[in-house]
Structures are given as structure tokens and as C-alpha cells.
Structure 1
């Protein structure tokens, strides 16, 4: 959730002028003032226009119904988001409300008492039960209001595919490489890469890695982090994931580390690029740049068996309340509003993503009609909520991202060297932590 960016600060109406009036100079006790609204602070990492519009609509609707409250919305660079939250937690300066992409990735915030237990809240009955699993800890407690069903795979421009004479999406790895060749011959960049925003690197391989974790039934990222396994053990065939990554790097745009996420999305929006490998939140970003973008989705093909090409869908994060907030009762009312069908429809319309709220239509956008028909209804999907894509230990995470960066820069894309250096670096970091 939500989920890569230049840091931005967006403060919505939080300054209200007090109204002063005197009925008479002889009766100053009759002076009246309008009470200044109390401000609910909300930190998020939404960059996409549709997501911000949904958030603005909901908070403005709440403030209209409850004029005693206003909102201070703060949007933060996705790459720096968790570091900011953890720094605020340490300094006891947490917002009233905040977003989390993954409960499993933020257990430290839960354990230190910075997330309210939402178990049993009436508004949770509005959520499709299967999407509550991703916001639960092992003890069954619920820590966030999930908002969307995130998918991980390939987002493609149908017009670019048509221009290159590609009539069907690839379902095997060899067919994927053939697709890249056809796009390249047609003068189209096969894959848009915005590695200037480093978070996109790990999501470039997420469609492959998540599927491998699902097939093995193991949260491999967690196992590596705790030292239960190593990169060299190749528990989920991470070597093959890297190998495929190296092979498709021949098809990305020039100067990927000078290209940011917005520029990569712009390439796909204009049909200059054929594909982006990332999450379904990409659709909002691309269509914000070009509403006429003719987009589609397909599962990343990680083998020569078409049956392995399944689309990963999950909901593992959402809206969290700070239990130490002086406005926690109001915050619960905010979540009640955002769990309504009214806000679910706004979400699907503006953010262009599948809502977790019951009873909403699935034909709100052509891109999702294809996903529903080709994958959801044919049961070619898997739940990736038990699996993570990032390391929660920040030293390990930075080391992992540095290794992926070095792998891209290395002209040989040497898999064995990358694996060896990762294991050596992780061992050093774990020993320092003991």
C-alpha cells in the first residue's frame, strides 16, 4: 500500500478566523466568538492525484458534518515515509491518523503502542471479510481499516501493444521477452523504469518474488531478515528472480537512475513505453497524467508454464489511529465515514483502485474489467497478504536496495556476486545488532 518521489507537504484548511461581534459597547460580556475547530492531523504518502482527491473529499465531507473539526493533511515522500513515522514515534509526536501499507512491516509501531486496536469496531462489518486478514496480527487483532485491494504485476499500454502488433499478453517468460523485442522494434520502450525513486527497484521484481513466496508458502523476506535462511540457500529461487530481472534490464529506458517515478508513468501514459512492472496503484498515477490512457493488467510470467502466471491481490494496510490521540473518538468517526459505500464509490472513481467495501461494482474502470474477467473470475489470482516485499530492519533494507542498484549498474548483472555480497553484508549487520 501504497505503496514511490519528491517530498511534499500539503496542509488542507486548518486556519479558521475567529468571529468577533459586539452587540453593544456597554455590554462587553455579550461578546461572542466562534469556537476554533480542533485539528485532526493525518499523515499519508499518496502522490497520485486520485488518491489525494479521495482523501480531500472524505475529510471535507467529515468537516462539513462535524464543523468542530478540521484536518491537517501531510503528504510525505513514499521512500522516507516509514522513517518519518518511526522518528515521530520516538519523539512522541505521532499524528492522530496515519496510513500504513503493511501491518507486518510496521509491527514495531503496534508493539510500542502507536496503533489503536480496532477489533470489534462496527464499521468493520462494511469490509469484505477476506480483506481483513491482511490487517490482523497473529493474535487476530485488527489494527487498520483496509481501503483497497492492491495487485502486483504488469501494467501495460494497450495502444502501444497494438502499434507493435501484439495481440495477446504474454503468459510465459519467453513470450514476455518476445513481447519486449516487438515493442523495441516498433520504436517503443518496452519497460519504463523510474529508479531515481529507489523504492521502484524492489517493486520492479515484486511480481516475480511475491509469486515465488506464495508457491513456497514461506515469507522468505522475513526468514532472511531473522537469519532463518540466506540468499544463497535460494529458498524461493531468488537467483532465478534476479536472473529474469537482469535479462529484462536490456529493455528499460536509458538513464533509469535519472528517471523518476512520475517520468516513468508519463512514458506509459503517452505510449512511449509499453509496460511498467509495479503495483495497481500505478493506474491512478498514469491516468492522472493522461485520462485517456488505454491501460491493461496482466500477471508477470515467471516460468514457461502459463498456469504459473497468476495475479497477486491483497489488502495488508490502511488507515491507522494513534491511540494516544486526544481526538481518538473523532478519529473513529472518520474511519466510520471512510468505511461507507459512499466513500468506497468515491475511492473507486477517483483513485481507480478496487475498494474492499462490500457491495460495490467492479466495472468502474476498463482496466479492472479486464482484471476481473481474465484473472479474478477465472481464479487465476493468489493472496499475497502473508508475504512482504521489504525488510523492516532499516539497515538490512538499505543494504538490499544498494545491492539491487549495484546489480542494475553492473553490465554483467552477475547474480552469484550479488547473492554473495548480500549474505556477507546481512551477516555483518546481524552480528552488530546482537
Structure 2
């Protein structure tokens, strides 16, 4: 995202609450895992500052304590930006909390490389092996697990069925050429094809990232990050395909100054029926309804189309979620809590009460929304996964992706310049 954190579900909570939650002040950078009168206190840092998640998570902590009388959990809750700032400082100091929220990717890798994070591969394998495979991807580094997911999601197109029908589009497109044709048909019918929050940059990044996955292939994005070179033909082609779309002028009037979740922003534009589509995560229906009227049963979902002749497949998904990691040397009680958090019983409660998608396959039965079921089906069938680029890469590189793609959409950078700028940022981040 323009703000790379927010697990995207975190962003949903923040946007719905208007970022108005009051953060609890935390002390220090983690407990010593020590005991007092035979009781072990573990410190759990998270970003669940909004309801209902805040109350649900606090209740789960109390339930765990009831099951483990010699363990106390100290909860430290911080709003997303404050959390990132505090964790950056703690990482630099070399002392992290016992249990802490992570989005995986580049930041987690930095913490792992500094020797600050516990390797969970052996200690959790007996039960973590049963979690949804794609949900575990962001926390795997060199084949080892450094985090346990509690949420997962993906980016795709959310569309207005009525407006598609008005334009004579019988079924969602599965190819890029078919998508461009759909955009043209929508415009011809007097409908704005796409809503975009150009002001915030991260929504535009989704287009380039997916197009890079579809042209160069999901593996190429990882190789480019390792080699610090994004100038390959597949990445330039991604920019060219995005430029094809931009040339059609598909976005709403004033999109370059539009935010995401405001009453006149991207989500509301779709939710109020003023645009036919948006490329967004699984939280989109709730934000559309909160910022606008929402489309209800008139809302549909389809995955990002394939690019003809490209290396990528329709079943390769772009997304992310939230997870928990442990500081190196955290007490066994912290591992036990992660196991408790990943049980079917807990996951069913999280899905039912907080709206996350299940990471425990057996918890799927409590999903009721047809669109969320469609997203879950795509995730389960995924043959490849790419974490959000502004999380997968080092922070400076992720920001450059957002900035450069925004410049391409605004018409001030060419596809080649985008690839060169991201490569330059990757080289400087070494």
C-alpha cells in the first residue's frame, strides 16, 4: 500500500475507524520472559486498536491465560504508523517484544538477518503444517518459518454487475486484451470503468505489480529483488501494458487527487455506482459500504487477467496478510500462544467476529459472504504467490515502486524509466 504496512486487513480496520483509535502506550522492547512467583509474563505487540478486533483479541488473551494459569500476557496495542515507528526503533536497539505483529517480507528479513527473530520451523511444524500454504509464504525465508499467519488475502477486481450488463459484458475478462476491451465497452456505454486513489499511490502499484507477475512471471520478481535489476523486458512490458490502460483514460475525473476511503475516494466511487471496478483487496466490500452505499449482491469479484504470451498464470496471486513472530529466545509460552491462536476454534472466532479470511482450512465453514468465499477459493487454488511489493522489498525500494508507478500513471515517467528507477533504488538499498 501507499502505506506498506497494514496487512491490508489492518488498513480496513484503520479506514473504517477513521484512524481514530487511541493507542495504548507500551513499555520497553519486550519482556525478559522471566518469572515472578512462578508466573511467566509475555509481551504481545499488535495493531488491533479498532473494534471489534481489539476486544476479540483481548478476550483471546484472557482465554489463553485461563488455560495456562502460570502465564500472563501483557498486550501492547499501537496504531499502524506508530507501531512501525516504534518497531523500527526497537529493531535498531536489538530488542524486540516476545510476540509481535509482522507482515513478513523485507522488514522481517532485516530483523532475521540481525539475529532478532526466533526460527519457528521445528517448534511449530507439527501444527503449522496444516495451515493454508499460501498464508505462510510471507514468513518463509530460505525455507525456514519466522512467522505464523492469522490472516491472508489477495488483490483482485471488484466489479458492479449491473454496469457490466449495461455495457454488454457477459462475463468478467480473463485476458488483458479482454480487460482492455471491457474498459472500452464501459466507456462507450457512458460508465467510468475504474476508480483509483491516485493521491495515495499504493493502489496504482497493484496494477504494475500484477502486470509484472503476468508478463515476467512471479519468480522474476524475486530474482529481480536478489539481483537488484528490474530492467528486464518483462518489467518494461508491464509498464507498457499499464500505459495502454492509462491511454484509454479509464479512471474517474480527478483521480490523481483522490484518496482511498474518503467519501469522494476510490472505494466510495465504486460503492456509489459511479465506477464499474476497482483493483483492491478482500476488505473492499466493507470499505465500499462504509465510504459509500455499497453494492451488496450486485458486487462481484474476479482475478487479475492473464497477459497473452506472458509467463504468469491466472492462479498466481498478489496479496498478503498478517502474522506473528517471536523475538529470539522468547519463552515457550510464546510459542504455545501462537499455537493457540492458530487453532480451528480461535480461527473460527476470528473469521466470524473480525472478518478475516481463514488460515485454518477447517474454519472455512463460517464464511458466509459469497465474494469472500470466491477470494478464499482463489487463494486455495493458488499456484504462486507474491507479497505486496512495498512489503516484500526493502522499504526504500517499495516506496520507489509506488512513486514510479504513480508517475507513469500521471504521465511523467515512461515504462523504461520506471524500471530504471526501481533498479536504482534496489542498488542503493544494498
**Class of the TM-score when normalised by the shorter of the 2 chains:** 0.7 to 0.9
Computing the radius of gyration over CA atoms, which structure comes out larger, 1 or 2?
1
Select 1:142's aligned residue among 142, 145, 160: 145
TM-score where L is the length of structure 2: 0.74
The answer to whether the aligner puts 1:11 opposite 2:23 as a matched pair is: yes
1:317 and 1:211 mapped to 2: Cα distance? 25
Alignment of 1:114-263 (within 5 A): 114-119=116-121, 120-121=123-124, 123-124=127-128, 127-128=131-132, 131-138=135-142, 140-214=143-217, 217-218=219-220, 220-224=221-225, 226-227=227-228, 229-231=229-231, 233-234=232-233, 237-249=234-246, 250-262=249-261, 263=265
Alignment of 1:335-414 (within 5 A): 335-361=338-364, 364-371=368-375, 381-385=382-386, 392-410=393-411, 414=414
2:358 and 2:55 mapped to 1: Cα distance? 17
The Cα of 1:145 is off from its aligned counterpart by 1.1
More helix by share: 2
The Cα of 1:64 is off from its aligned counterpart by 5.1
Gapped runs of 5+ residues in structure 1?
Answer: 15-36
Residue of structure 2 equivalent to 1:318: 323
Report the CA distance shift for 1:391/1:181 in structure 2 as closer, same or farther (over 3 A): same
The Cα of 1:175 is off from its aligned counterpart by 1.9
The answer to whether the aligner puts 1:429 opposite 2:396 as a matched pair is: no
Contact (CA 8 Å) 2:154, 2:379: kept in 1 or not?
no
1:125 and 1:399 mapped to 2: Cα distance? 35
1:427 and 1:133 mapped to 2: Cα distance? 22
Alpha-carbon deviations, 1:82-125, whole Å to 9, x = none? 56532331145644433222345521111223323223235525
**Helix, strand or coil for the counterpart of 1:56?**
helix
Select 1:107's aligned residue among 106, 109, 112: 109
Residue of structure 1 equivalent to 2:69: none
Report the CA distance shift for 1:355/1:99 in structure 2 as closer, same or farther (over 3 A): same
1:347 and 1:385 mapped to 2: Cα distance? 24
Alpha-carbon deviations, 1:55-82, whole Å to 9, x = none? 53132232255375452311214xx865
1:291 and 1:57 mapped to 2: Cα distance? 26
Contact (CA 8 Å) 1:300, 1:310: kept in 2 or not?
no
Select 2:76's aligned residue among 72, 78, 95: 72
The Cα of 1:385 is off from its aligned counterpart by 4.7
Residue of structure 2 equivalent to 1:33: none
1:415 and 1:130 mapped to 2: Cα distance? 30
Contact (CA 8 Å) 2:46, 2:101: kept in 1 or not?
yes
Residue of structure 2 equivalent to 1:309: 314
1:123 and 1:55 mapped to 2: Cα distance? 26
Superposition CA RMSD, Å = 3.9
**Helix, strand or coil for the counterpart of 1:254?**
coil
2:254 and 2:138 mapped to 1: Cα distance? 37
Gapped runs of 5+ residues in structure 2?
Answer: 1-5, 27-39, 67-71
1:143 and 1:336 mapped to 2: Cα distance? 14
Report the CA distance shift for 1:200/1:91 in structure 2 as closer, same or farther (over 3 A): farther
Alpha-carbon deviations, 1:144-186, whole Å to 9, x = none? 1112332233222334434444321011222212222333344
2:160 and 2:316 mapped to 1: Cα distance? 18
Alpha-carbon deviations, 1:185-221, whole Å to 9, x = none? 4444321211322332322323222334536x33x35
The Cα of 1:355 is off from its aligned counterpart by 1.3
Deviates more, 1:68-77 or 1:172-181: 68-77
Contact (CA 8 Å) 2:164, 2:276: kept in 1 or not?
yes
1:316 and 1:324 mapped to 2: Cα distance? 25
The answer to whether the aligner puts 1:299 opposite 2:300 as a matched pair is: no
2:347 and 2:133 mapped to 1: Cα distance? 15
TM-score where L is the length of structure 1: 0.74
Report the number of matched residues.
389
Deviates more, 1:169-178 or 1:54-63: 54-63
1:38 and 1:427 mapped to 2: Cα distance? 40
Residue of structure 2 equivalent to 1:27: none
Contact (CA 8 Å) 2:195, 2:270: kept in 1 or not?
yes
Report the CA distance shift for 1:366/1:65 in structure 2 as closer, same or farther (over 3 A): same
2:137 and 2:205 mapped to 1: Cα distance? 24
